[in-house]
Amino acid sequence: MPFTIVEKIIAAHCGDDVYAGATVWVELDVRAARDFGGANVVQNFEAHYAGQPVADAAKTFFTFDCVVPASNIPFADNQQLCREFAARQGIKVYDVDAGIGSHVLMEEGLARPGGTVVNTDSHMNIVGAIGCLGQGMGDADVAFAFRAGRTWLEVPASVKVVLKGKYKWPTTAKDLALAMLREFGSSGLLGRAVELYGPAAEALSVEERITVASMATEMGAIAIFVPPSEEVLEWCGGAAGIDVRGVYADEGASYEATYELDVDGLEPLVACPPSPANVKAVSEVAGKEIGSAFFGSCTNGRLEDFRAAARVLSGRPVAAGVVACAVPATRRIYGALLGEGLAEELFAAGFVVSNAGCGGCAQGQVGMTGRGEVQVSTSNRNFPGKQGAGETYLCSPATAAASVLMGTITDPREVI
């Protein structure tokens, strides 16, 4: 029986018959919990499996990224509870200096092409960027995964999205993700595993694939898979220290639907409040005054994203009255910002450059808004209250950089 990508990954991790709609038990290569939800995982584990070991400590992790370092007592308590449990169980903790857990798992070569991962992170499906199946799960389910090393899943139906045409800088992968949200909304791909094809998909770098895959959750999709390129496999192999192979759909695999999306000449886009699916061309909302900007999150906190921002800034300062914050996704990226002089460039332009983590996207520390504040953000959600009481407009790093230069939402084509 020919398989789609998600079916092939699941089939390699279970002994059940795999087909869309089947409920199967899946062995997990990685099971993790972050500081948000991690303490509840520990409490669930100790309530139901007291005195028992985790299934395999070498495959089990904590990743702290939401409020790092802890800026309040509840998060400090939760993180310490996880540390103490990890010490008893022999589990590795990627602590408050490591960065966003999903990114750390990829950088460390733990999330790999063809693998399976669960976490208490609703954006764990981001690893579809490298051809890995990741899912965010609730505290009790992750506690069970810690103990059993497996979980149950309903095999999702798969759809193809074929991208037609190409776009050029300063349109970016974030604009591609927003174009998909404009086309499909928050429910058009609900519960589906998406496979992305076409020249524009094949040309995506590792970082760009991460950007697109990170917004699968906002589309209601189980995951977005971009078939791994040689560049992706080399990147993953280097991270893991071994040769890795990609998983690709079989010829004749069955898809629920095939969609075509024309991205030829795609212009910069922005998602307006109150939803990531409320997408418009930047040119339609250009001129709206902003008070702040957030550069970071699992969607656009990679080195390539900060390079794009610096490219637009081109040595020019942030407009008076605008607060611009940069939060790298991981410690490695922070180190690269320092090594390349990008952190110094951003600082000189007037940015607040913070330590690695989720920042305001998780209501952590840097990048939250006050009532009445208008913000441009490179994150993935702009629901009321998500990044504070203000209004958040989602956009690419290029658009955000153009906007902080002018003090208003600005099409980057107008300033480069």
- Give the model's pLDDT for residue 186: 95
- The average pLDDT across 358-369 equals 81
b/e 275-302 (16+ beta carbons within 10 angstroms → b): bbbbbebbbebbeeebbbbbbbbbbbbb
Domains and CATH numbers, the chain: 5-154 (3.30.499.10), 158-262 (3.40.1060.10), 269-414 (3.30.499.10)
Dist. CA 290–CA 322, nearest whole Å: 7
pLDDT of the residue at 273: 96
- At residue 365, does pLDDT exceed 90? no
Can you tell me the mean pLDDT for 217-237? 97
* Averaged pLDDT for residues 211-230: 97
State the pLDDT at residue 368.
86
pLDDT score of 362 more than 80: no
Taking residues 328-356, report their average pLDDT: 97
- Residue 359: per-residue pLDDT: 87
Confidence of residue 242 (pLDDT cuts 50, 70, 90): very high
pLDDT at 322: 98
pLDDT at site 366: 87
Residue among 406, 391, 215, 205 at smallest CA distance from 324:
406
Is a pLDDT exceeding 90 seen at residue 207? Answer: yes
pLDDT exceeds cutoff 90 at 160? yes
- Tell me, what's the pLDDT at 114? 98
Cis amide prior to 113 (ω within 30 degrees): no
d(CA 161, CA 143): 35
pLDDT band at 347 (very low <50, low <70, confident <90, very high): very high
pLDDT band for position 386 (cuts 50, 70, 90):
confident
Q: How far apart are CA 76 and CA 82, in angstroms?
A: 10
**Pair of tokens at residue 111:** 């999330």
Q: In this structure, are residues 248 and 5 in contact, taking their beta carbons and an 8 Å threshold?
A: yes
Q: Could you tell me the two tokens for 295?
A: 């550069």
Alpha-carbon distance of 408 to 290, in angstroms, equals 5
Q: What are the C-alpha distances in Å from 19 to residues 192, 196, 306? A: 13, 20, 41
**CA 283 to mean position of chain CA atoms:** 26
Q: Is the pLDDT of residue 343 over 90?
A: yes
Mean confidence (pLDDT) of the chain: 96
3 state DSSP class of 118: strand
Share of the chain above pLDDT 90, in %: 94
Backbone φ/ψ region at 265: left (φ over 0), alpha (ψ -120 to 50), beta: left
pLDDT value at position 126?
Answer: 98
**Residues 6 or more apart whose Cβ sits within 8 Å of residue 284:** none
The whole-angstrom separation of Cα 403 and Cα 416 is 12
Using alpha carbons only, give the angle 388, 333, 358 rounded to the nearest 5 degrees. 20
Q: pLDDT (tens digit, 9 = 90+) per residue, 22-48?
A: 999 999 999 999 998 999 999 999 999
Which segments of 253-367 are extended strands (E)? Answer: 257-262, 269-271, 279-281, 292-295, 323-326, 351-353
**Is residue 367 predicted with pLDDT exceeding 90?**
no
